[in-house]
Amino acid sequence: MRIRIPIINLLIITIMKSIFNYIIIGIVFSLSLAACKKGYIDPISKVDPGNDEQPPALDILSPSADIQYPATTDAANFDFKFNVTDDIELSKVDISLDGALLRSYTNFIDYRGMSGIYTYPDLGLGAHTFTVVATDLSGKSTTQSFAFNITKYNKILESETLYVPFNAGGDYKDLINFVSPAVTGNPGTTGETGGHNGAAYQGTADAYLSYPIAGLYGANNEMSFAFWYKLNNVPDRSGLVVIGNDDNVDTRNQGFRLFRENGTQDMTINVGTGSSDSWIGAGSQASGIGVWKFITVTISSAETKIYVDGVQKAVGTYTSKMDLTGCTKLVLASGGPTFAYWDHKSDLSLYDEFRVFNTVLTPEDIQLLMQ
């Protein structure tokens, strides 16, 4: 037997639900008003900002040193970076290049400070001066200028396929191909005098750089890389330079992995040869903790060598050339996505003057690079 509910009953139920909802809303609103009247919510009051006593403070982040372009480049886009703060409120910030106004900032999200980036198109070679003038509401102003020179970078060796000088201000650009890497995490650079030659890369937790490897290596996948390195042994292990198989991150049969580990800071490279891999150990590098050392690795079709300060520390042979199947990027200062296991994660050490070559360097080449 079917039970039939008259339409009038359905209307009554709908009306009752609506009345109930309005009652709930009314109760909530009444409680909110009562809370305000009884002082449960703190009133909004004006806070005296104090006297405007200090002029604005300036910091030009980029440029921080002279700039180099690739030998084939006469002009390129450049990012000017700067920070401005004031104790009360900014009124205006003007930036100029070589005496010509680039932009005047008058609207600020944070009226006490700003972080500015201005991209200048086709900045040419030669001497330049970047100037920032900041003015606060009371009329006090601060001016800061930075003079710099743009020249062309000429390769030390013709086989050089990547060069990263690590300029201050977070500049990780490769001056051979004039491309910036993919940046993971929040690494940084030291000040202008913190590196072996100018600024240096400063590793941080969960951070690394990734450069494309297309065009970096030569025939039979031969290559070399070299860099200045100041070892930080905390944590006690990390990846340094890694090329791995993006399609199979668990294999070591492709690419290579230069890493350090243990209290003795043993430096080892693992090279994948397709069906297997080879391990070459350079022994303890504990003597290099906090000291600049020049690290060089050469990879030929038959052997890999590790040099420290131009002295050969290890050599290992294999019967097949290094396999680069599935490899697309070089990771610096970490094991990265293909070699983070065994805690070979990010390196907090300093790196400077990182170079890659498409051939096997000779001891004479290494000595030339160290000069």
- Among residues 252, 253, 256, which one has the least CA distance to residue 267? 256
For the cut 80, the answer to whether the pLDDT of residue 59 exceeds it is yes
Q: Residue 32: its pLDDT value, please?
A: 54
Per-residue tokens: 227? 């860099």
Q: What is the pLDDT of residue 343?
A: 96
pLDDT digits over 264-301, tens only?
999 999 999 999 999 999 999 999 999 999 999 999 99
pLDDT at 51: 77
When comparing pLDDT for 7 and 45, which is higher? 45
Angstrom distance (rounded) from CA 62 to CA 65: 8
pLDDT tens track for 162-185: 999 998 888 999 999 999 999 999
Choice between 8 and 295, residue whose per-residue pLDDT is larger: 295
Q: What is the pLDDT of residue 1?
A: 41
Higher pLDDT, 180 or 31: 180
- Examine the pLDDT at 215 and tell me if it is beyond 90: yes
Nearest to 354 by CA among 163, 222, 192, 90: 163
Q: What count of other Cβ atoms lies within 10 Å of the Cβ of residue 245?
A: 20
* pLDDT over 90 at 151, yes or no: yes
* Burial category of 125 from C-beta neighbours within 10 Å (exposed 0-12, middle 13-18, buried 19 and up): middle
Structural domains in the chain plus CATH codes: 57-153 (2.60.40.10), 160-370 (2.60.120.200)
pLDDT confidence bin for 48, thresholds 50/70/90: low
Task: Look at residue 230 and tell me whether its pLDDT is greater than 70.
Answer: yes
Task: Please compute the mean of the pLDDT values over residues 72-79 and round it to a whole number.
Answer: 94
C-beta of residue 90 within 8 angstroms of C-beta of residue 114: yes
**Amino acid type, 285:** Q
CA neighbours closer than 13 Å in the CB half-sphere of residue 195: 26
25-29, 82-86, 187-191: least confidently modelled range = 25-29
Check residue 353 and give its pLDDT.
Answer: 97
Kindly report, residue by residue over 323-347, the tens digit of the pLDDT. 999 999 999 999 999 999 999 999 9
Regarding pTM above 0.85, the answer is no
Distance CA 76, CA 151 (A): 12
What is the structure's pLDDT at 45? 59
Residue 6 has pLDDT above 60, yes or no: no
Query: pLDDT tier at 3 (50, 70, 90 boundaries)?
Result: very low
pLDDT of residue 68: 92
Per-residue pLDDT, 5 = 46
pLDDT of residue 329: 98
How confident is the model over 69-93, as a mean pLDDT? 95
Average pLDDT, the chain: 90
Of all residues in the chain, the percent with pLDDT exceeding 90 is 81
Contact 280, 315 (CB under 8 A): yes
**Range scoring the smallest mean pLDDT among 48-52, 233-237, 350-354:** 48-52
Band (10; pLDDT cuts 50, 70, 90): very low
Residue 26 pLDDT greater than 70, yes or no: no
Residues 6+ apart with CB under 8 A from 360: 222, 224, 298, 299, 300
